[in-house]
Amino acid sequence: MGKVGLLAGIGKLPLEFLRAAQSEGYEVVVIAVIPNTEPALAEEADAFYDINVAKVDRIFKTLHKEGVTEVTMLGKVTKEILFKGLKFPDLRAIKLLSKLKNRKDDTIMLALVEELQKEGIHVVDQTIYMKSLMPKPGVLTKALPTKEQQQDIIFGFDVAKQMGGLDIGQTVVVKHQAVMAIEAIEGTDACIKRGGELGRGEAVVVKTAKPRQDVRFDVPAVGLTTLESMLESGCKVLAIEAERTIFVEQDEVLDLANKKGVVIVSVPGPEEE
């Protein structure tokens, strides 16, 4: 049916996409842009390359060589890389970074999308083939949120949307309608651990899509690592935005959450213009 490229970061999400696309008859060309991606990607991809994100020109040349005209970007690429400095960036990466007016998430990703489009490579919706992993509204676990926890979910949802609107992050940790932590450059898991520790147990984690979320990149996702970070720091509730959050490893996550008494709930978001 065709060929699609996958620029892969860390986590299970790239592997979920690979398997879903192949089940639809597509060949998938994977480029691991940072170390420690899922080992199964190399085993299952129709073609696999390990090219650091700093080697932008080599990435583009590889996509051309493979005849890829559509690509998606999935998996965690730590934002700290851009502040610690890319390791041995090529000239194209240097030029790309020099054009950025700031280093907000969307600014960086839109610049990369623009560069890909100049090369005749279309960046597709991250959620393509992933709709079945985006839960509808409802409580997903056996445990239900208490009245207090429900109030924290509503409060946290509003805060997360405001933070997303400022392109700061998608995750907040709250307790008793007070903000314990907001996700910034450190990423979701570090935010959860910090917020849970400051909340001293029973904290609520809320993750939402940004207002007017660009579905080509940075679509919110949760999985087993998210729950493990919550358990480590004593958080008791995970609220995600219904039909706009990718939930990977669902069976394992829900089984562990039910054993530990953690609440996971999918919350309908506001209608956007």
pLDDT digits (tens, 9 = 90+) for 70-88: 999 888 876 655 555 567 7
pLDDT at 187: 85
Say whether both 138 and 251 belong to one domain: yes
pLDDT at 85: 54
> Is 211 among the domain residues?
yes
Say whether both 151 and 119 belong to one domain: no
> Is 85 among the domain residues?
yes
Where is average pLDDT lowest: 92-106, 180-194, 215-229?
92-106
How far from the centroid of its chain's Cα atoms is residue 176's Cα? Answer: 27
% the chain with pLDDT above 90: 65
Mean of the pLDDT values across residues 117-122?
Answer: 91
Say whether both 153 and 115 belong to one domain: no
Residue in this structure with the two tokens 């991250």, named with its chain if needed: 126
138 strand-pairing partners: 266
Mean of the pLDDT values across residues 160-175?
Answer: 93
Residue 64 has pLDDT above 90, yes or no: yes
Mean of the pLDDT values across residues 110-135?
Answer: 88
Identify which of 65, 152, 217, 131 has the alpha carbon closest to the alpha carbon of residue 51.
Answer: 65
The residue among 109 and 30 whose pLDDT is bigger is: 30
Mean of the pLDDT values across residues 163-184?
Answer: 93
Residue in this structure with the two tokens 């592997």, named with its chain if needed: 15
> At 122, is the pLDDT very low, low, confident or very high (cuts 50, 70, 90)?
very high
Sort strands 171-175 and 178-182 into parallel, antiparallel or unpaired.
antiparallel
Mean of the pLDDT values across residues 52-62?
Answer: 91
> Is 201 among the domain residues?
yes
Say whether both 175 and 67 belong to one domain: no
Q: What is the mean pLDDT of the chain?
A: 90
Say whether both 261 and 145 belong to one domain: yes
Q: Which domain holds residue 13?
A: 2-123
Mean of the pLDDT values across residues 16-37?
Answer: 92
Residue 272 has pLDDT above 60, yes or no: no
> Is 192 among the domain residues?
yes
What is the Rg, in whole angstroms, of the alpha carbon atoms belonging to the chain? 19
Q: For residue range 240-262, what is the model confidence (pLDDT) as tens digits?
A: 999 999 999 999 999 999 999 99
Q: Which residues contact 203 (CB under 8 A, 6 or more apart)?
A: 173, 174, 175, 180, 195, 196, 233, 234, 235, 236, 237
Say how far apart CA 192 and CA 227 lie, in whole Å. Answer: 9
